[in-house]
Amino acid sequence: MRDFQDVVRHCSLTDLGHHGPLYTWCNKRDEGLICKKLDHVLINEHWGDCFPHSYSVFEAGGCSDHARGRIVLEAVATGGRRPFKFVNAMAKLPQFHEVISNHWHGTVPLFPSTSVMHRLSKKLKDLKSSLRSLGKEKFGDLSKRTCEAHETLCQKQIATLASPTPQAVEEETNAYSLWSHLAELEEDYLKQKAKLH
């Protein structure tokens, strides 16, 4: 396993986005049932450049205890977008609750009926575009913005040390808060992207 992990790191392989069930393998026992997500499609940066809309699909494999995997190279027929993945760090954004609330109250209210699950599913599916926009706005160039915030913080610290005034301290505190917020978002985003839990 260590050799395999070394190869994955050395080749800079990452998990390709996927559709399908939560688990891809099952031991199929009546007692001691175990299900795991064992199967992945690993790609390198060159693959991502050549096939930016590609994704993998896991589906029932028939005779095997593993799900069958296939790769879809182009998603143009379905709108040209990668499968939607919720970024957990998005929930820490101040705008997150506002986006959810505006969408929820701006659509048809739900009430108990035989079709409530269908309408809930549709409501959640329609929410994806708003979350995509928020994610693009807040997580686009996140690493660059975090580096810039760190540089600004360092400049403010130097200014405070050179000429300590209440205003300089306040500016440094504000710069630290911004950098800390962005660094935390970046760390959470990258952890989820790398599937480190």
pLDDT (average), residues 25-30? 79
d(CA 151, CA 29): 57
Give the helix/strand (H/E) hosting 96: helix 94-106
Residues paired with residue 59 on neighbouring β-strands, in sequence order: 68
- What are the tokens at 78? 């379905």
d(CA 93, CA 137): 11
Worst-scoring range by mean pLDDT, 3-17, 66-80, 92-106, 138-152? Answer: 66-80
Query: Residue 9: is its pLDDT beyond 80?
Result: yes
**85 CB-contact burial (10 Å; exposed 0-12 / middle 13-18 / buried 19+):** exposed
Helix 116-139 and helix 166-193: axis angle, to 10°?
130
**Strand, helix or coil for residue 155:** helix
d(CA 65, CA 134): 39
The pTM (predicted TM-score) of the whole model is: 0.46
pLDDT tens readout for residues 155-181 = 988 888 888 888 888 999 999 999 998
Average pLDDT of the residues of the chain: 81
Number of CB atoms found within 10 A of residue 87's CB: 18
